[in-house]
Amino acid sequence: MTPYLIKKYCQLNTGIEELLKKAYKLYNYSGRTIHKFIKIARTFADLDGAYDIRKQDMVASLLSRDLDKEHKEMTYL
C-alpha cells in the first residue's frame, strides 16, 4: 500500500495521531514503521467491521510489535 493509499483508506479517529507521535518519539520509529503500524491497525479495524481506525486498533497494532520482540525465540519452535 503506497502512502497515497494509506492516506485514502486509513482514516484515523481523534487522538490517534498523538499516540503515533508519542510512539515515534519514544522509540525512534521511522516513517516506514509508522506506516506499517497504520496498515496493521487498518486490518484490526476491518476485522471488527469499523470504518475508521480507532484508538483500540492502533494500540493493538503497537502492542503486536512489542509482543513479537518479546517472544521472538518462540517463533523458532
pLDDT digits (tens, 9 = 90+) for 24-64: 888 888 889 999 999 999 999 999 999 889 999 999 999 88
53 and 68 in contact (C-beta within 8 Å)?
no
| Domain 3-71 CATH (choose: 1.10.8, 3.40.190, 1.20.1050, 2.70.98) | 1.10.8
Q: Look at phi and psi of residue 44 and say left if phi exceeds 0, alpha if psi is from -120 to 50, else beta.
A: alpha
Domain ranges of the chain: 3-71
Reported confidence tier of residue 75, pLDDT bands at 50, 70, 90: very low
Nearest residue to 56 via CA among 64, 46, 43, 45: 45
Q: What is the pTM of this model?
A: 0.78
